Amino acid sequence: MSVVFEKTKGLTDKEFHYCPGCTHGTIHRLVGEVLEELELLGDTVGVAPVGCAVLAYDYFNCDMHEAAHGRAPAVATGVKRVLPEKTVFTYQGDGDLASIGTAEIVHAAHRGENITVIFVNNAIYGMTGGQMAPTTMIGQKTTTSPFGRNAEQTGNPIRISEMLATIDGAAFIERVSVHNPVHIRKTKKAIRTAFECQQNRKGFSMVEILSTCPTNWGMSPIAALGWLSENMIPYYPLGNFRNPDKEA
Amino acid sequence: MAEKVLMKGNEALCAAAIRGGCRYFFGYPITPQNEIPEYMSRELAKAGGVFLQAESEVAAINMVYGAAGAGARVMTSSASPGIALKQEGISYIAGAELPCVIVNISRGGPGLGGIQPSQADYFQATRGGGNGDYNVLVYAPANIQEAVDLMTAAFDLADSYRMPVMILGDGMIGQMMEPVVFKDPEPRKLPEKDWATTGTGGTRKPNIINSLRLDPAELEKLNHKLQDKYAQVRANEVRYEMHQTDDAELVFVAYGTSSRVVKNAVAVMRSNGIKAGLIRPITLWPFPEAAFDELPDSVRGLMSVELSHGQMIDDVKIAARGRWPVGFYGRSGGMIFTQQEIVEAGEKMHREVANVSRV
């Protein structure tokens, strides 16, 4: 009997703590599969954020370093400067990366730091119970925007990929989504390209992944996937914003 | 014999750090410590190391956190407001039990304060300026030679205890020039860094650098482990100097730059017929409480002398355990007392306590 599918060696056997229907699990698996397929697991150091993925260090089957809120790119910089031959990645949410960690992510890109960033954007703070993020959509109700996000008071949702794509040190920037199988495959391809970019020493690479938070959005998992597709993608267009191979 | 060279404090600290094994430096410009990143940017690569100017002190200390986790000998430096920004990272480094060296060439505060020498960061350094139950090993050199000797050994100490070591200087120590001789530190048996995140190589279980323990029992266990370590540091690493205390009636307590002025004041008072002495803490944490138990029966009072409005005095009172009255003299904001000010304050207290029998 031949094995047609098995769990990636890129993940440990630890059970995820993620809520039912949350897409973090899918994204973890994709990162694990890519690291396994590129045969990088033994030569990788991952950096976990503060947020829903804070326990990512228990799930990825490689050396891991848990960072302070928003500081993962700085921690990854420290690791990478000591171990330039190893693969170093951060896994960060939108509160972590797009709010408290904007300085660290901008300057990691600015230095062309040869690391890979997995940026999970679900337009809300999940771990702390559904507060507004800089990425929260206009009109979206959260526990700190109970009447819906209002642009006059809190600005418009921040588009991180577009912003980082203006920085020369950013080699690879792509926004993808995991709301259906076609896009999950595209996401995996983008993650793979980002890690290959690092292997080829092209500089900073980031994949922004639109993700759902059924619990804090107050929706069923299926409704959440639809909401992502109908509301987030029009504002956060999918696609590549920087690619070293295309520019060459 | 090793050659004697004239060096500025900040640069001598760097040369000693490289000699002590430092190969990675992450920092951010701030006065009065700028010669440190400048020197490292010139010299660290020659030693096979890496210098990186971070976007902020916050980023710099987190780069230190990453590099230390990857097993490197790594250092950062800053001055008071910058050290305030680093406290988050220092707390994480302490919680994750990583070694590193932090230099604070302190200046006056609060807030942006000034750029002149100050000792107003004593609480910040010795109380654990960040969150949680932790300490860093704090050295306060009083001259450039001592700064060099402490710095050369600092990386061994940090590795040995897996904890941050802080060199607390001030604008005076950082900026003045003195002759120094570079010596190798006493060799220490150091533990393997088998905990470092260097990639599993497919041959071991993943290493995890982390300070998070969501289970309260596990977090308490981590805290017990840290406290056991701190008990060892208290038992083995306390350093201080007793200066003319054998027959003293009034004993000053002063560290770093202050102790230099106080030593001169002690000489003047003795020539005036007043038996003064000095306890000079070299480690601020752990505080040298043992020094106070060595004091002779002749002592009638203590006086904490600081370039602040009284921070170390709390530790002096704890160490005195009510055995002597504790006076204070301090200046702040970058103002440095003269020897004459100390003599006058010391002689005034001596008049008040000289004829009081010991409690």
For the stretch A123-179, pLDDT in tens is 999 999 999 999 999 999 999 999 999 999 999 999 999 999 999 999 999 999 999
Q: Name the A residues in 97-136 with CB < 8 Å from any B CB.
A: 103-104, 106-107, 110
* Buried/exposed A93-116: b ≥16 CB within 10 Å, e otherwise: bbbbbbbbbebbbbbbbebbbbbb
pLDDT single digits (tens) B185-233? 888 899 999 999 999 999 999 999 999 999 999 999 999 999 999 999 9
Average pLDDT, chain B: 96
pLDDT at B25 over 70: yes
Binary contact (A104, B66; C-beta < 8 A): no
Residue B358, domain member (yes or no): no
B34 and B134 co-located in one domain: yes
Looking at residue B78, which CATH number applies to its domain? 3.40.50.970
Q: How far apart (Å, rounded) are the C-alpha atoms in residues B260 and B276? A: 14
| Shared-domain flag, residues B105 and B183 | yes
Q: Stretch A87-108: mean pLDDT, rounded?
A: 98
Which one of B22, B44, B65, B219 makes the best mutation probe of the A interface by having the most chain A beta carbons within 10 Å?
B65
| pTM of the shown model | 0.97
Q: Name the domain count of chain A.
A: 1
Q: Tell me the nearest-neighbour CA distance from B112 into chain A, angstroms.
A: 21
Note whether B279 and B157 are same-domain residues: no
Residue A5 maps to a domain = no
pLDDT of residue A247: 57
Number of domains chain B contains: 2
Residue of A44, A78, A83 lying closest to B64 (CB–CB): A78
User: In 3-state terms, what secondary structure has residue A60?
Assistant: strand
In angstroms, the Cα distances linking A191 to A83, A136, A173, A178, B97 are: 21, 24, 10, 12, 32
Element (H, E) at B87: helix B80-95
- Do the Cβ atoms of A57 and B208 come within 8 Å? yes
Q: Identify whether A38 is part of a domain.
A: yes
* Domain span holding position B117: 4-236
Q: Is residue A13 part of a domain?
A: no
Judge whether A11 lies within some domain.
no
Asked if A66's CB is within 8 angstroms of B210's CB, the reply is: yes
The minimal CB distance from A62 to the residues B54, B200, B211 is found for: B200
Q: How far is CA B281 from CA A147, B139, B344, in A?
A: 58, 9, 23
At residue B128, the pLDDT reads 83
Closest Cα to residue A36, out of A203, A234, A191? A191
Q: Which of residues 42-101 of B touch A (CB under 8 A)?
A: 50, 52, 54-56, 58-60, 62-72, 74, 88-89, 92, 96
C-beta of residue B255 within 8 angstroms of C-beta of residue B140: yes
Tell me the CATH number at A170.
Answer: 3.40.50.970
Q: Are residues B26 and B111 in the same domain?
A: yes
Q: Any chain A CB within 8 A of the CB of B219?
A: no
Is A235 contained in some domain? Answer: yes
Identify which of A63, A67, A68 has the shortest CB distance to residue B199: A63
B219 and B281 within one domain: no
What sign has the CA pseudo-torsion B156, B161, B162, B168? negative
Residues B225 and B254 both lie in one domain: no
- The answer to the question of residue B312 being in a domain is yes
Domain span including residue A119: 24-247
Run of H or E including B234: helix B216-236
Q: Say whether pLDDT at A211 is over 60.
A: yes
- Both B214 and B260 in a single domain? no
What pLDDT, on the 0 to 100 scale, is given for residue B39? Answer: 98
Distance of CA B76 to the CA centre of its chain: 14
| Domain end among B202, B236, B270 | B236
Q: How far is A170 from chain B (nearest CA, A)?
A: 16
My answer on whether B30 and B76 are in the same domain is: yes
What distance in Å separates residue A201's CA from the closest CA in chain B?
A: 18
pLDDT digits (tens, 9 = 90+) for B267-279: 999 999 999 999 9
Q: Rounded to whole angstroms, how far apart are CA atoms B353 and B315?
A: 21
Confidence of residue A248 (pLDDT cuts 50, 70, 90): very low
Q: Looking at the predicted structure, is the pLDDT value of residue A5 above 60?
A: yes
Does the interface predicted TM-score (ipTM) exceed 0.85?
Answer: yes
At A227 the pLDDT is 98
Q: What is the dihedral of CA B34, B40, B41, B43, to 10 degrees?
A: 140
User: For residue B329, what is the domain's CATH number?
Assistant: 3.40.50.920
In this structure, is residue B359 part of a structural domain?
no
Residue B207 C-alpha, separation from nearest chain A C-alpha, in angstroms: 5
A76 Cβ under 8 Å from any chain B Cβ:
yes
Q: pLDDT band at residue B355, thresholds of 50, 70 and 90?
A: confident
Q: How confident is the model at residue B108 (pLDDT cuts 50, 70, 90)?
A: very high
Q: Which of B205, B236, B267 is the last residue of a domain?
A: B236
User: Does B329 lie in the same domain as B252?
Assistant: yes
Which of B236, B255, B276 terminates a domain? The answer is B236
Per-residue pLDDT at B1: 59
Domain membership flag for residue A162? yes
How crowded is the C-beta side of B178, counted as CA atoms within 13 Å? 19
Is the residue at A91 inside a domain?
A: yes
Closest Cβ opposite residue B67 in set A66, A79, A103? A79
Answer yes or no: do B310 and B343 share one domain.
Answer: yes
**Tokens at residue A161, please?**
């990929």
Give the best residue of A54, A62, A75 to mutate against chain B (max B CB count within 10 A): A75
User: B358 falls in which pLDDT band (50, 70, 90)?
Assistant: low
